[in-house]
């Protein structure tokens, strides 16, 4: 189980972890972001996961297609 910093909202900490996975390439472009899997992995409610994914969507790191789900956005090549 993940130990959360009690001084910060859990959704921010989850967004930070997902952001790192995306920018490091661990989560490749067009990878499905499953709310159900994230709920189980992080041990939080769906609303918490949704706040985290909304923040990443606002940053352009993920895109959501109605009826299909959320996916890692295409990232520009680095270097």
Task: Provide the pLDDT confidence category of residue 78 given band limits of 50, 70 and 90.
Answer: low
Domain limits for position 39: 10-72
The CATH code of the domain that includes 61 is 1.10.10.10
The confidence score (pLDDT) of residue 44 equals 97
Q: Which whole number is the average pLDDT over 29-41? A: 96
Cα-based distances in Å from 15 to 25, 51, 64, 79: 15, 8, 16, 24
In a domain, 55, yes or no: yes
In a domain, 43, yes or no: yes
The confidence score (pLDDT) of residue 79 equals 46
In a domain, 22, yes or no: yes
Task: Provide the pLDDT confidence category of residue 76 given band limits of 50, 70 and 90.
Answer: low
In a domain, 34, yes or no: yes
Greater confidence (2 vs 6) lies with: 6
Total domains, the chain: 1
In a domain, 17, yes or no: yes
Residues 50-74 as b or e (16 or more Cβ within 10 Å = b): bbbbebbbeeebbbeeeeeebbbbe
Residue found under tokens 């661990």: 26
pTM over 0.85: yes
């Amino acid at each position: 189980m993940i130990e959360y910093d009690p001084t910060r909202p859990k959704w921010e900490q989850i967004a930070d972890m997902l952001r790192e996975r995306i920018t490091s390439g661990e989560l490749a472009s067009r990878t499905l972001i499953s709310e159900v899997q994230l709920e189980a992995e992080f041990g939080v409610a769906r609303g918490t996961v949704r706040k985290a994914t909304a923040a990443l969507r606002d940053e352009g790191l993920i895109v959501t297609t109605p009826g299909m789900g959320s996916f890692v956005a295409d990232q520009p090549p680095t270097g």
